[in-house]
Every structure is written in structure tokens, then in C-alpha cells.
């Protein structure tokens, strides 16, 4: 009937925008499949889909899995079969998962920690199975592409596998690594986070904790290879990570990490670029157990260290991709007026005043951190819940209120918080639309806060004035630091100079004119010039404790631990503590 044809055509047209961003189904370099591809091939007779995970996989599987997928016991699958008996057991385990010689296996994880999937994939490759692929983005990528979940496990099915032909060329031991240090055409790559490679945090085994990395190794942290969750970055972006690490195209990569799991993620990405890969299965734990020599960063040619920065910042493009994540909470820091004029769609207005102790009597300090209970209630009012993924952004170039909020989140022990680089201006410059409508008010549900001890007082500062490993940094403009202008609240205290031993890194230097945070290298140069050493814990202060947070945020992106002397110059002078005034020396 004509009416139905018209109805159908109109309905199809109406649903066009909803499908405006569907990925083309693809199989990248034969190793990666997209959710769209999997959706299309889900009922292929040879397809075997495995959900793996390090812990709690069965529970996650029972809660909801890709329809037709099987729960694979990671404990059984992730170890390297060392002898014939273990190999035979592996063979039977694979058959019981329904895997046959003609099977096409797709592996995924239920949560964002994806290395178990790549480890499983590599072990299957080692066992001689070639047709194994990773689902890009895991379960989250599946549901985000509109895929539905199932709670029903498929009936058990036994596959038919010929005896396994192992691929020993994929695995290496410590001797192999030693023998290939500096060998041309090979690159030893540490896949751990930068803090381990740089020796900021210790690695190794439970009984033997050491700092540093395998001598001659480069660093390509596995978590820099995914764009969000467990979705892999584009080939170009992955190439950039390896280039920055110092890996040359064509190198065979010998990868390691703590115990051999995260390295498989890095090696997977390397394979997508066409590198030949070898896994040092024992990894750093094995290296340390053999008491082999180590190397620390200033001994190697390490160029860049941005994993802290990557964890703290988010770009407008990435935010736009995730704008409709169920747990996302976007908060605008600014005035109600600017919020009403236009904000990121779905963003909530964060009332700055709720996060400061405003019950001040004259003579009391300005802008102090409120009590844990007041903070907890303020966060809940803003919509923050335990599982919220928060993005904070500034509505204009005056960005220190928003870094103060970032520090407040950190103080409250809420870690899943990122800062939108470029703020509202960066958002609109990237071509994204704004909204004038506020979402309906919704209180968050937050467990009691576990405060982190990052707020310090004057006695702490005094005790650490020239302590090793600490840098007291004055974030005020240079004129206040060097005694030209008087500092303190409303200039009332009119005291000149800075806290003895403090260095100077004015906060407004850390953002460029277009409102974006400066690059890692630029920020490092500023701190180097100020006299801050790598690994120092930065203790920041300013007039009343707000501008310092901008400087401290920049320090965090470099990987420094930070502390805020909240009372700042105002408090120091209230206590009549001595100052250092460069002008006096003239």
C-alpha cells in the first residue's frame, strides 16, 4: 500500500542522523575487527568469539556478553606451554572452546583493560593458530556501536584441531634480549607506563623492587596506543608513538613489560604497523630475578614523557566522541551567565562557590578548602557519582578556577577526572555545537571521600624549604616574586618577596594565547628554567591558593607529584614568617 511505502521512506530518512557516524565495517591489517564487522559476521559457522579477562571474567560474562561468545578461562589460556604435556592440555582446552582448524577466532575483553585479550591472541598464535583477531574497543566498543548483549551461554561445542605446531620465533628469553641489545634491525621496547621506565616508580617482583629499565630499551607504553577505553589509535597515531620512542620502521621489536601481559598490547599495535614482534615472556620480573643490570632515564636517550599528560587531558575531538557515554559528567567552571549563553551539550554548571569555604570572617584566610563533608555534598550536588568519568573545562581564558577544581577533585581522591584542553573556546573552534539548555538537575551518589594529603600548611613548607626531592614554587607573577609589587590578599598585607628557597614559575606562562595548555616540552622547559628537577615533588603557592593550582596542574602533566600550600602568601604573612626579598640584596 502506498501509505506504507511513504511511511517507510520517511522513517528511513528520519533515522539517517542517528546512523550518521557508523564506522565502515573493516578488518585493519588482518589483526583487528570493528564492532560493525563482527555484527555482520556474528553468525558465520566458523566464527568463535572469546571473552577473556584477568579477574571476574565469568561474572562479567554472565552479566552480559556478545551474543554467541564463549567465556574463556584466562588462567588456562594465557600461560606459555613449556613442554609436550602442557601443549597437549592446551590443545584440548582449545578444542573444548569449539575451536577447529578452520575456525576464525575473535578475542575481546569485557572491560577497558585489554592486554589479556592480546596475550590470549599471542598465545593462540604461538600454538599455531593464525586466524585470530582482536575486537577493537572490546565490549564497550560493541555496545557503543549499538550492539546488543546476551546473558545466555551458547551450548558447549567441541572443535577438531590437528596437533599444535608451535611458533617459537614469537617468544624470547633473557639471553636473547642480552644478545640483541644494540643489534641493528632490532629494538627492545619497554611497554610499561613511563613512571616505571623512568624509575619514578619501582618495578620487579614482590620481594625485589628496583627502579629503571633494561639497558638499551626504548619506551612505548601500552596505554598510549589506545584512543579511549580499549579502542586502538589510528595507524598514523600509533606510528607517532613508536617514532617518539625511537623505533625505526622495519625494526623487529622485542617487547617486555612487568610479567609479559601489557607488552602483548604494545606488540599487537606494532604488528598492525607491519613490525615483526617477539615477546620476552619473563619480562622485567624475570630480568630482575636474574639480577641483570638496569638503566635509568638520564642514561638513555629518552625524548618524551607524556603518559601523565595523556591521563589528565582530553581533546575536544575525544570528548565529542564520548559525549553520550552514560557515566560521563562534563562540568563547566565559570559564571552562570556564561553557562546560560552556551555550553557543551549535556554539560552541567559547577558552582565554584560550593567548593570554597566561604564562611570567612574578616582576618581569616581567603578561599580555603572546605571540610570533607562539605566537599562530598558539593560534588554530589554537581552530579558526581562514584562511577562518573568527569571532564572539567573553563568557559574562558581565566582558567585557574578550573584548575583549582581539578586539584579539589584530586584532593578528594576522585581520580577519573580530565581537563578539556582549550576549554570552551577549543570546543567551538573544533566545530562542535553549543547548547543553551541545562540538563535536568540530578544529584550524584558518592561514597564518603578518601582525602589525599595534598594540602599542606606553613609548617610543612618551612620544614621542606630546601629539602631534596622537593621544590617550593611560587606561581605568582615575577613582579610579586622579586619584590617589585606587594603580595597577599587584596594587596593588603603589602609584604614584599617570596618564601625563602622558593622558585618562580608564573602560572600564566603555562597556557598559550589560544587558551590551550602548552606542550609537554614547553612546560618542561619552563620548570627546568625555574630550577625544578625531574622527580621533584612540587609544593605550590601563590597569593591565596588559586593561581598556584594552574601551575601545579601543569606540573602534574609532567608526572610530578604536587602539593598545594593552600594558605599561600596570605597565610605566610599572617604568621609573620620571614620572607626572602631579592630587592633587599640590591
Partner 1 sequence: MADHPSETVKYSDPYVSGIALGLVLLAAFLFAGRGLGASGAFAATATGTVAVVAPDYAAANPYFGRYLARPGGPWREWLLIEIIGVVIGGFLSAALAGRLRRVVERGSGVSSTSRLLIAFAGGAVMGVGAVLARGCTSGQALTGGALLSVGSWTFMLAAFAAGYAVAPALRWAWR
Partner 2 sequence: MSQFLLPLAIGIAFGFTLERAGLGNARKLTGQFFLTDLTVFKVMFSAIVTAMLGVFWCSRLGWVDLNALALPETYLRPQLAGGLIFGAGFALAGLCPGTSCVAAASGRGDGLAVVGGLFAGVLGAGLSFPLFVDFYDSDARGAWTLPSLVHLPYGAVVLAISIVAIVGFLAAEAIERRARVAVVTQAFTSARTSARTRSRARMAVVALALIVAALAAIARTPENAATAGAAHVRAKALYKPPSGC
Residues forming contacts to partner 2 in the complex (CB under 8 A) are 2-3, 6, 11, 14-15, 17-18, 20, 323-324, 334-335, 337-338, 341-346, 352, 366-367, 395-396, 398, 401, 424-425, 428-429, 431-437, 439-440, 476-477, 480, 488-491, 542-544, 546-547
162, interface contact from partner 1, partner 2, none, CB < 5-8 Å by kind: none
50 within 8 A of 70, measured Cβ to Cβ: yes
**Burial annotation 273-296 (CB, 10 A radius, 16+ → b, else e):** bebbbbbbbbbbbbbbeeeeebee
Report the alpha-carbon angle 234-415-342, nearest 5: 70
332, interface contact from partner 1, partner 2, none, CB < 5-8 Å by kind: none
Least distance to partner 2, CB of residue 418, Å: 20
Distance CA 391, CA 331 (A): 6
Least distance to partner 1, CB of residue 583, Å: 55
88, interface contact from partner 2, partner 1, none, CB < 5-8 Å by kind: none
341, interface contact from partner 2, partner 1, none, CB < 5-8 Å by kind: partner 2
Least distance to partner 1, CB of residue 6, Å: 5
Least distance to partner 2, CB of residue 342, Å: 5
SS3 state at 522: helix
**In what order do the strands lie in the sheet containing 27-28?**
27-28, 32-33, 132-135, 104-109, 47-52, 70-71
Nearest CB to partner 2, comparing residues 242 and 572: 572
56 within 8 A of 71, measured Cβ to Cβ: no
Nearest CB to partner 1, comparing residues 11 and 301: 11
Nearest CB to partner 2, comparing residues 5 and 155: 5
Least distance to partner 2, CB of residue 91, Å: 48
Which residues partner with 585 through β-bridges? none
**Burial annotation 234-255 (CB, 10 A radius, 16+ → b, else e):** eeeebbebbebbbbeeebebbb
552 within 8 A of 404, measured Cβ to Cβ: no
Nearest CB to partner 2, comparing residues 283 and 546: 546
Nearest Cα neighbor of 107 from 159, 81, 71 is 71
13, interface contact from partner 1, partner 2, none, CB < 5-8 Å by kind: partner 1
Q: Please compute, for residue 227, the number of CA atoms within 13 A of its CA located in the half-sphere on the CB side.
A: 19
Least distance to partner 2, CB of residue 358, Å: 12
Nearest CB to partner 1, comparing residues 85 and 440: 440
302, interface contact from partner 1, partner 2, none, CB < 5-8 Å by kind: none
Instruction: Return the sign of the alpha-carbon dihedral for residues 205, 54, 269, 171.
Output: positive
Nearest CB to partner 2, comparing residues 95 and 351: 351
Least distance to partner 1, CB of residue 10, Å: 4
Nearest CB to partner 2, comparing residues 125 and 546: 546
Least distance to partner 2, CB of residue 24, Å: 17
Distance CA 96, CA 368 (A): 62
Nearest Cα neighbor of 201 from 219, 213, 189 is 213
Q: At what angle do helices 520-530 and 547-557 cross, to 10 degrees?
A: 110
37 φ/ψ sector (left φ>0, alpha ψ -120 to 50, else beta): alpha
388, interface contact from partner 1, partner 2, none, CB < 5-8 Å by kind: none
Least distance to partner 1, CB of residue 376, Å: 23
Least distance to partner 2, CB of residue 134, Å: 29
Binding site for partner 1 (CB under 8 A): 1, 3-4, 6-11, 13-15, 17-18, 440-441
Nearest CB to partner 1, comparing residues 139 and 344: 344
488, interface contact from partner 2, partner 1, none, CB < 5-8 Å by kind: partner 2
> Rg (Cα) of the chain, in Å, rounded?
27
Nearest CB to partner 2, comparing residues 118 and 546: 546
Q: Please compute, for residue 241, the number of CA atoms within 13 A of its CA located in the half-sphere on the CB side.
A: 28
Nearest CB to partner 2, comparing residues 345 and 501: 345
546, interface contact from partner 2, partner 1, none, CB < 5-8 Å by kind: partner 2
Amino acid at each position: 500500500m502506498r501509505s506504507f511505502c511513504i511511511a517507510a521512506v520517511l522513517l528511513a530518512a528520519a533515522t539517517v542522523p542517528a546512523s550518521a557516524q557508523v564506522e565502515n565495517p573493516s578488518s585493519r591489517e588482518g589483526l583487528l575487527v570493528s564492532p560493525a564487522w563482527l555484527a555482520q559476521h556474528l553468525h558465520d559457522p566458523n566464527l568463535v568469539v572469546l571473552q577473556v579477562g584477568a579477574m571476574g571474567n565469568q561474572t562479567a560474562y554472565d552479566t552480559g556478553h556478545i551474543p554467541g561468545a564463549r567465556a574463556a578461562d584466562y588462567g588456562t589460556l594465557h600461560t606459555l606451554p613449556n613442554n609436550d604435556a602442557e601443549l597437549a592440555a592446551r590443545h584440548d582446552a582449545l578444542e573444548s572452546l569449539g575451536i577447529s582448524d578452520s575456525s576464525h577466532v575473535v578475542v575481546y575483553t569485557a572491560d577497558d583493560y585489554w592486554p589479556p585479550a592480546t596475550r590470549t591472541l599471542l598465545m593462540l598464535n604461538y600454538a599455531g593458530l593464525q586466524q585470530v583477531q582482536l575486537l577493537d574497543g572490546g565490549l564497550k566498543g560493541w555496545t557503543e556501536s549499538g550492539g546488543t548483549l546476551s546473558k545466555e551461554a551458547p551450548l558447549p561445542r567441541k572443535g577438531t584441531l590437528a596437533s599444535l605446531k608451535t611458533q617459537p620465533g614469537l617468544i624470547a628469553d633473557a639471553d636473547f634480549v642480552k644478545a640483541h641489545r644494540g643489534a641493528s634491525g632490532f629494538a627492545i621496547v619497554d611497554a610499561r607506563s613511563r613512571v616505571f621506565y623512568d624509575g619514578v616508580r619501582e618495578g620487579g617482583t614482590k620481594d625485589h623492587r628496583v627502579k629503571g629499565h633494561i639497558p638499551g630499551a626504548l619506551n612505548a607504553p601500552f596505554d598510549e596506543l589506545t584512543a579511549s577505553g580499549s579502542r586502538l589509535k589510528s595507524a598514523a597515531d600509533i606510528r607517532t608513538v613508536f617514532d617518539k620512542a625511537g623505533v625505526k620502521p622495519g625494526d623487529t621489536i622485542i617487547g617486555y613489560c612487568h610479567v609479559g601481559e601489557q607488552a602483548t598490547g604494545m606488540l599487537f599495535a606494532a604488528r598492525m604497523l607491519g613490525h615483526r614482534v617477539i615477546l620476552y615472556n619473563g619480562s622485567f620480573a624475570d630480568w630482575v630475578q636474574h639480577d641483570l643490570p638496569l638503566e635509568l632515564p638520564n642514561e638513555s636517550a629518552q625524548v618524551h614523557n607524556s603518559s601523565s599528560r595523556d591521563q589528565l587531558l582530553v581533546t575536544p575531538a575525544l570528548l565529542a566522541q564520548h559525549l553520550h557515554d552514560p557515566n560521563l559528567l562534563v562540568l563547566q567552571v565559570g559564571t552562570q551567565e556564561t553557562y546560560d549563553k552556551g555550553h557543551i551539550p549535556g554539560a552541567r554548571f559547577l558552582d565554584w562557590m560550593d567548593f570554597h569555604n566561604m564562611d570567612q570572617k574578616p582576618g581569616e584566610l581567603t578561599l580555603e578548602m572546605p571540610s570533607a563533608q562539605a566537599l562530598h555534598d558539593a560534588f554530589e550536588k554537581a552530579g558526581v557519582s562514584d562511577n562518573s568519568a568527569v571532564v572539567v573545562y573553563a568557559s574562558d581564558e581565566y582558567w585557574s578556577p578550573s584548575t583549582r577544581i581539578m586539584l579539589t577533585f584530586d584532593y578528594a581522591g576522585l581520580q577519573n577526572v580530565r581537563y578539556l584542553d582549550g576549554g570552551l573556546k577549543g570546543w567551538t573552534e573544533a566545530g562542535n555545537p553549543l547548547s543553551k539548555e541545562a540538563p535536568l538537575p540530578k544529584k550524584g551518589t558518592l561514597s564518603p571521600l578518601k582525602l589525599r594529603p595534598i594540602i599542606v600548611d606553613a609548617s610543612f613548607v618551612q620544614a621542606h624549604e630546601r629539602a631534596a626531592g622537593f621544590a617550593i614554587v611560587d606561581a605568582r607573577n615575577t613582579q610579586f616574586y622579586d619584590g617589585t609589587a606587594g603580595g597577599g590578599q587584596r594587596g593588603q598585607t603589602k609584604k614584599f618577596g617570596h618564601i625563602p628557597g622558593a622558585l618562580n614559575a608564573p602560572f600564566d606562562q603555562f597556557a598559550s594565547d589560544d587558551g590551550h595548555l602548552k606542550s609537554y616540552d614547553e612546560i618542561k622547559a619552563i620548570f627546568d628554567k625555574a630550577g625544578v628537577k625531574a622527580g621533584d615533588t612540587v609544593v605550590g603557592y601563590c597569593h591565596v591558593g588559586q593561581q598556584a593550582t594552574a601551575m601545579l596542574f601543569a606540573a602534574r602533566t609532567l608526572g610530578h607529584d604536587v602539593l598545594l600550600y593552600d594558605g599561600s602568601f596570605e597565610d605566610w604573612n599572617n604568621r609573620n614568617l620571614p620572607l626572602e626579598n631579592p630587592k633587599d640584596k640590591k
